[in-house]
A and B are shown apart, each in its own frame.
Chain A
Amino acid sequence: MQNPSSPSRLKLLAQHLSENDLARIAAFLRVGCSRLQCSWELVGDGPAHLLLCGRDLPRAAPDAMPSLSVTDAQPGRPVGRNALVRPLQYDAFMDALCALEGRLLGKAPAPAALTYITAQPLGETTPALLPSLLPGARCRLLRWPPSAVLQAHRHHRTLASFLSSRHLDLDELARLSNVERSLCDEFAATLVSLGFLDVQPSSASSSTAPSTSLPTFSPAPSPAAPRRAPVPTGLITRIRRSLGLGR
């Protein structure tokens, strides 16, 4: 069997995982790349270096592909070795991946890469795993995000600041922060995937849908939302200008 790729580029094979799991993993890999020694690619089939499986794993042969399972928490039942509990948490996932990556890199020769036929093809859907918010949805941070998320882009810290005191829709966020709407979308999607964002539906649909920290998928790009309260441009703008903080 051939090596699936060079050691600096490793493949993570995902099987039997929900869209929510996959979205989180994609986000974790994106924001946590600085913690990793290798570039990890999430794949749905083919040769890989590590298996991440949403079902109990069979007892592994000594030369089997390293693996992690993803399980639902069950009261009173301890989590098994090499198992992650839903909802997937950034730190737990990255700690496990870093440890396994170290084992993979330390192994010589490289472990045999096994080929699995995917039960849930990722294929071309993988790049679009991050959810987008419904038009007009308003979001607010549930907690201050980890450094890895904030360091992924120079504007992430600013955007997180704006989202920490009240719910904002993404048009408001872009307008207040003067950061491109596309970056706001991307940042919000990452936070949703990580479970750090409380999302409220737009006022038009708020009577039917409750607030949720789970992603709400939108089939189409979000159109411009109606303007809300006017931005206080006076004193704060002048302070920013005086301090040289204009964005």
Chain B
Amino acid sequence: MKDFKIVFTGTPGAGKTTAIAALSDTPPVTTEVRNSDARLDKAHTTVGLDFGQVDIGDGQCVRLFGTPGQARFEFMWRIVATDAAGLVLLIDNSRPDPLADFAAYLDAWRDLLPNMSCVAGIGRTEGRARPTVDDHADLLASRGLVFPVVAVDVRRRDDVLMLVDMVLALAQTRA
């Protein structure tokens, strides 16, 4: 039986590396380097991929992959997404235009979304009232897409588990 692969993608600083670290049984493999992009308010950024795994017994595991967030590494996204059953799209709501970010990621993943179990997690909503999670859901609806859009704090393991739970629910109905 194939392992189950979930990919975490989304804007720089949205918490992809943190989310994977929250679930992984083993210390996650990261490719973080010192950030040289002045537009990003963070000390380190992922330039390759992040990897973690959850052992489910009998030699099988859930493999968790994180893509680099910066658009210049977009070519990596599809490589990382090969054979993925689930996609967690994380949006940092504190960035200047989170809806444009969300739209850009929907465009980038457009042809894969119909066949993947996708969930969107909107992070850092506490300090910023707009756009609301419902605004993000409206954007999704305007594109004729239907998948979960929820507020998350990826520093909380329960929130990351909630995202994975929804990916599994979608995968279960697709099976």
Contacts and interface: CB of A to CB of B under 8 A. Distances in A.
Interface of A: 91, 140-147, 150, 157-158, 160-162, 164-166, 168, 176-177, 231-232, 234-236, 238-245
B75 to A, nearest CB: 28
Contact of A245 (B147, B148, B161): B161
Sorting the interface of chain B by its residue count into under 10, 10 to 19, 20 to 34 or 35 or more gives 35 or more
Nearest to B168: A236
Contacts of A145: 137
Given A146-B134, A232-B172, A245 B1 contact: no
Given A143-B140, A164-B147, A239-B62, 13 more contacts: A144-B149, A150-B150, A162-B169, A164-B148, A164-B170, A176-B169, A176-B173, A235-B4, A239-B4, A239-B168, A242-B57, A243-B23, A243-B165
A164 B54 CA distance: 26
A157 B174 contact: no
Contacts of A166: 173-174
Contact of A158 (B62, B165, B171): B165
A144 B133 CA distance: 11
Interface centre among B60, B146, B165 (most CB of A within 10 A): B146
A141 B166 CA distance: 15
Given A144-B146, A147-B132, A160-B148, A242 B1 contact: no
B56 interface: yes
Given A157-B148, A161-B148, A245-B164, A147 B133 contact: yes
B132 A144 contact: no
A239 B172 contact: no
A236 B149 CA distance: 21
Nearest to A230: B175
